[in-house]
Structure 1
């Protein structure tokens, strides 16, 4: 696991890396850390899995740096570190995973890093399907939702070049296998990736891109509780 730490205060960079190196040794998570105090020192060709970025670094804005990193690796997990709370809303623009105030380092750095590691592993998970005897591995993070038409399942993807796969399967069996990866069966025909849910209401579940699906009215309360429980564990809060 490749971890980038960028802050214009070298002492903070070294402190973060020292703390996380000890943690990864204890938890036996194989990691390599890259610490820089200037964004110009970053090697964008490296496949970073996690980036801890200062937001305010003088002439350089950490939000812009996050955009560049995400352009190179769409699945990078970004944690912003800063002294200033007012930057928080901008973090949503670049899909920040967590927002860590420097005053909270000692209390929250370990738990935030643990969560980031789990998110990296989730994004690297694959769902394997068979189409005309061809085995295809699909990254979980590429799946928007799945829908069932009797024995045919349509897997809708975020990839515009390949928007969907169609294959034979049982959505009940599939649901049991992939719900632990962040999916929710909102009604008998739809299994959605909760990471891409933007609105969850009684009469609609809106996904990224504005697509709206109808949830089960009968099971709405239970579904909403499951979604809120997942959201509480997976979304960052101030």
Structure 2
């Protein structure tokens, strides 16, 4: 299910964007949930909002905390969310590049731009799918939704953002899974843990802190190389 947030201080545009998104997603028979926010402060009032949405439509010109600052706070914690700026002005494009916004939509082009934007996002997400033969059957997963994989005896257990994908398990070695996920931003921080760097908030004191809460151990002998790999990854974003 796609989790989408709309953050705009004008009701007309909240309503319009929601209507366009609902029509687009229903036509493609995609499951979704849309949550609306009245301001940047409203969105940021709950810390989990920073990490739980797949797509966030942000009005740039809002009082107090504007769309740019809201996007910066999202990016400070994780990079999984697709950020779409919506504005009446064309003077903030450079700021959009700084936070890796997927699109910059002018409000007078919503009727055509929302569909094109969603097409681009879905193409991008489709490219980040991988398939595994779990004990529960064959499943395709978005790599961004995988938090980490833990090796337990002869099984590898997947921990995912989606509550419906709890503890998916597969009989396979972590070395093999690491090869399958090469190029998707996963890091072997421990002989028993392969972690999605998109969900690592920081690495310090021999631990990897996740953006959704919780920590995983980083052994002393791996610590320096793990930290260097994470710093290089963050610098490449």
Normalized against structure 1, the TM-score is what?
Answer: 0.59
Determine helix, strand or coil for the equivalent of 2:179.
helix
Aligned ranges 1:68-107 → 2 under 5 Å: 74-76=53-55, 78=57, 81-82=60-61, 87=66, 90-91=70-71, 92=73, 105=92, 107=94
Contact 1:143 1:157 in 2 (8 A): yes
* CA distance in structure 2 between the partners assigned to 1:124 and 1:183 by the alignment: 16
Pair 1:204–1:61, CA change in 2 (3 A) = same
Contact 1:202 1:217 in 2 (8 A): no
Question: Could you give the per-residue CA deviations for residues 148-167 of structure 1, whole angstroms, max 9, x where no partner exists?
Answer: 13431111122334411111
* CA distance in structure 1 between the partners assigned to 2:191 and 2:147 by the alignment: 17
Contact 1:156 1:163 in 2 (8 A): yes
**Aligned residue number for residue 183 of structure 1:** 186
Contact 2:147 2:161 in 1 (8 A): yes
Unaligned runs of 5+ in 1: 9-35, 49-59
* CA distance in structure 1 between the partners assigned to 2:186 and 2:122 by the alignment: 14
**Aligned residue number for residue 234 of structure 2:** 231
* CA distance in structure 1 between the partners assigned to 2:136 and 2:165 by the alignment: 19
Pair 1:118–1:104, CA change in 2 (3 A) = same
Aligned residues: 192
Question: Could you give the per-residue CA deviations for residues 136-188 of structure 1, whole angstroms, max 9, x where no partner exists?
Answer: 21222321110113431111122334411111112112112214212111111
Using the TM superposition, give the Cα deviation of residue 132 of structure 1 relative to its aligned residue in structure 2, in angstroms.
Answer: 4.5
For the pair 1:61 / 2:39, whether they are aligned, the reply is: yes
Deviates further, 180-189 or 204-213: 204-213
Aligned ranges 1:1-238 → 2 under 5 Å: 38-42=13-17, 43=19, 44-45=21-22, 46-47=24-25, 60-61=38-39, 74-76=53-55, 78=57, 81-82=60-61, 87=66, 90-91=70-71, 92=73, 105=92, 107=94, 112-113=101-102, 121-122=124-125, 125-132=128-135, 134-234=137-237
Aligned residues: CA RMSD: 4.5
Pair 1:65–1:99, CA change in 2 (3 A) = same
Unaligned runs of 5+ in 2: 1-5, 27-37, 104-116
Determine helix, strand or coil for the equivalent of 1:218.
helix
